[in-house]
Amino acid sequence: MIVTIDRLGHLGHGIAQGPIYVPGTLPGEVVEGTPDGDRLADPKIVTPSPNRVKPPCRHARACGGCQLQHASEPFVAAWKQEVVANALAGQGLSTDFLPLVTSPPNSRRRATLSARRTKSGVLIGFHARASDTIAEIPDCQLLHPGILAAFPGLQALVMAGGSRTTELSLQVTLTRGGPDVVVTGGKPLDANLRLDLARLVETHSFSRLTWDGETIALRDRPALTMGTATVVPPAGAFLQATREGEAALLHAVRQALGPQKRIVDLFSGVGTFTLPLAQDMEVHAVEGDAAMTKALDVAARNTPNLHRISTETRDLFRRPLEPDELLTFTGAVIDPPRAGAEAQTDRLAASKIPVIAAVSCNPVTFARDARALVAAGYRLDWIQVVDQFRWSTHIELVARLSR
């Protein structure tokens, strides 16, 4: 069968009429293969797209960590903006787009890796495409060199506390004190394993090791810099994946807010936006996770020359801030999880806050929430797309909404 790819789906697969899904292809390409349900088995590109490039990573074909290494950077940028524009159009919205910002190669400072013991040693990497198989990535073009340098230590952890029958998950975050490692799926802890793991933390200069929810060793503070503040996040806490992506999001949030006196930061996490913004304005930070709220509060109290920061632990899905609680704020930042923040958005729509900087990692739920705000009298002024997860289909954005 020969097909022509019409478009890319949200997972980055090429889609031909049928629909027929062909991973690793681009719009306009003519592809030949054997039909296998709604896919082509063993696809061969007959006519390549002018937007096709040689993948920069030698693991691109086997590894499922990246979906779009075969596409040129301008194509990916245009496609990601188009995904956002289409999500908006589905809600009857449109706006101007600021130029997209892409994180550079080898910039991922936070990643979740899969690992397993084997007959010959240890396997660490990302899953292969649509598979439980782990693809090794010794010279990954995505990960920060600091994470790649931690692989010998990670292998030692898996050798000590892993098995050949179960897969481990290794969340690694680069911090000023060294890699902060969170392991799930490991062997049950006993006295000998605890001692072995603690020794490995020291040997390989990890800052902290958390094993199935329990802190095993704290060699050094797993500290991060946010603005002028030093934050020690709880193990496994949400953080932006790259420093460059975090800086781009913060720049867009500042641009959206403009000069402010007192703002509310909803879903504040450990202070990604709160702490830098407090250099110029008062901030009330609201977060549902008590450990993250505590980390933010400690950082705020230990950082001089900031405007007042107040913190509140509150489930914004079940108990959003009400319009009367929002009366004293001149601006708002909202950065919800992928599901969006329907309940809190409804309360914002009923408020009188003049300007909102909305941050999102899901164009579909963002467009839904933006529609509610626009229906209540807000104007969607612009959107800044940030490609923090380079070569992936993941999209992040900042939008300015004002009354």
Q: Which are the catalytic amino acids?
A: 361
Q: Which residues contact 248 (CB under 8 A, 6 or more apart)?
A: 101, 103, 384, 386, 388
State the amino acid at position 203 in one-letter form: T
Geometric angle at alpha carbon 118, from 116 and 123, rounded to 5°: 50
Question: Do the beta carbons of residue 264 and residue 273 sit within 8 Å?
Answer: no
CA 14 – CA 8 distance, rounded (Å):
5
Task: State how far the Cα of 96 lies from the Cα of 288, in Å rounded to an integer.
Answer: 32
The answer to whether the beta carbons of residues 361 and 395 sit under 8 Å apart is: yes
Contact between 260 and 281 under an 8 Å Cβ cutoff? The reply is: yes
Give me the phi and psi of 49, to 5 degrees please. Answer: -80, 150
Cis peptide before 19 (omega within 30 of 0): yes
Tally: H helices and E strands in the chain: 9, 23
H helix or E strand, kind and range, residue 110: strand 110-117
* Cα–Cα distances in angstroms (integers) from residue 266 to residues 47, 142, 196, in the given order: 49, 30, 41
CA-wise closest residue to 268 among 243, 241, 239: 239
Name the token pair of 183.
Answer: 């392991």
- Write the CB contacts of 97 (distance below 8 Å, at least 6 apart in sequence): 81, 84, 85, 382, 383, 384, 385
Report how far residue 282's alpha carbon sits from residue 374's, in angstroms, rounded to the nearest whole number.
Answer: 26
How far apart are the two ends of the chain, measured CA to CA in Å? 54
Burial (CB count <10 Å: 0-12, 13-18, 19+), residue 205: middle
